[in-house]
Amino acid sequence: MELFTKTLFLCLAFALTNGAPAPPPDAAVDDPSLPDRCDGSEFDAITPDEKGNTFFFKGSHLWKGFHGPAQLSNESFKELDDIHNIGHVDAAFRMHNAENPDDHDHIYFFLDDKVFRYYDHALEEGYPKEIQQDFPGVPSHLDAAVECPKGECMADSVLFFKGQDVHVYDIATKTVKTKTWSHLPVCTSALRWLEHYYCFHGHNFTKFHPVSGMVSDAYPKDARRYFMKCPNFGHGGNYSVLKCSNVKIDAITTDDAGKSYFFAGLIYMRLDTSRDGLHAFPITRSWKEVTSGVDAVFSYTDKMYLIKGDQVYIYKAAAHYTLIEGYPKTLKEELGIEGHVDAAFVCPDAHAVHLIQGGIIRAVDLTATPRAVTRTMPMSLSNIDAAMCSAEGIHVFKGPTYYQYQSAMILAVSRIAPEPHNVTKAMMGCEE
């Protein structure tokens, strides 16, 4: 629980308004012999490794992560040096091929007409190869590359960029379809980040749809405001540190894919525990119909339920959340209850949602039609902000404190609340 809580409140400390990672403050880079990406570098390639560490390449140097000084590429990938005639890489990507563990999560680097494949920072036997040996039909001298899993693309694919042509390589069939996206800037590098796709050009980046290439009107944006920590740029243009006494979570849930979501005001934060770290976004970025925040959220059978006032919004938990036709509906129609909902949670492998309303907790059978309350129990706590059930038990959040219970029944029958845990500066870097 201690690790969970530290992670949660670190996330809340970075209440941002744009979709990008939240790096800690960066130390000054005093070595003039090293390139400084805050000068406006145009990256040659960007790729995460199998552990989720993101590498930005420029010439013979790279940056590991979103802050910190440059280092020689051959310190992390020893074959990327002058002995092998690799002064820079043209493109790079992390393979997504879950059906083939021998390929999945391996990193591919492209230089001229050669491809290099790494796993755990070690060059694999038989490499480098001609690009067409591994990727028939893909041209040489690429500009950028990025993986595109099935569900985001039609099949597990790789997008290879050369000029304004995009070569879509189907991993299973080893076939290529070529598109021309003249409306997209020429990408010198590309990155998939939390199911969204970014084309980097100069010191800017543009978000695009991986199937249509469609670009929103809000782009391009300066990468120095979002994908790195640079002096005088700010992070997302709106970085602030919360006071510990002001921490307040509106809702929290974990979906069937293991992704955790924390909601606070108009912002939601997502934590992927295995890779990619902490991120903060406007709620409308993923759930565009929910424009005024949420009261409670829970996940069940690959769907996410967002409750605001007397309305329930249900979204399919696909690559990008889609509101189910006919929603929102009222709480009475969907869950058989009325009144304000303070918090909601569903325990793993359970088929009932527990809804907290004031000092009352109600269980609703999600398999029943129509859904109706099956149990109503009083609680010793009231004015709850959020709650979540996991293998660790029930976590109940109330302002800048949280409580832990072993089960929903214990939460309901306990007459005395357990010792609360307080948010501190040491936990989240907030201002006390």
- 235 annotated as belonging to a binding site for a ligand: yes
The secondary structure of 415-431 as a DSSP string is SSPPPPEE--HHHH--B
What is the DSSP code (8-state) at residue 81?
Answer: S
Residue 256: φ, ψ to 5°: -70, -20
- What single string gives the DSSP state of each residue in 372-417? -EEEEEE-S--S--EEEEETTEEEEEETTEEEEESSHHHHHH-SSP
Is 279 a known ligand-binding residue? yes
Cα 187 from Cα 244, distance rounded (Å): 42
52, 54, 56, 348, 405 from 64: Cα distances, Å: 11, 6, 7, 36, 40
Asked if the peptide bond before residue 420 counts as cis, ω within 30 degrees of 0, the response is no
Return the closest-CA partner of residue 386 out of 192, 250, 232, 197. Answer: 250
- Can you say how many angstroms the Cα of residue 408 is from the centroid of all Cα atoms in its chain? 29
Which H or E element spans position 251?
Answer: strand 251-254
Find all residues with CB under 8 Å of 218, minimum gap 6, and list them. none
User: CA distances (Å), 307 to each of 68, 160, 405, in order?
Assistant: 41, 41, 24
In the numeric block, which tokens belong to residue 424? 């501190």
Binding residues for heme: 235, 279
Residues belonging to the binding site are 235, 279
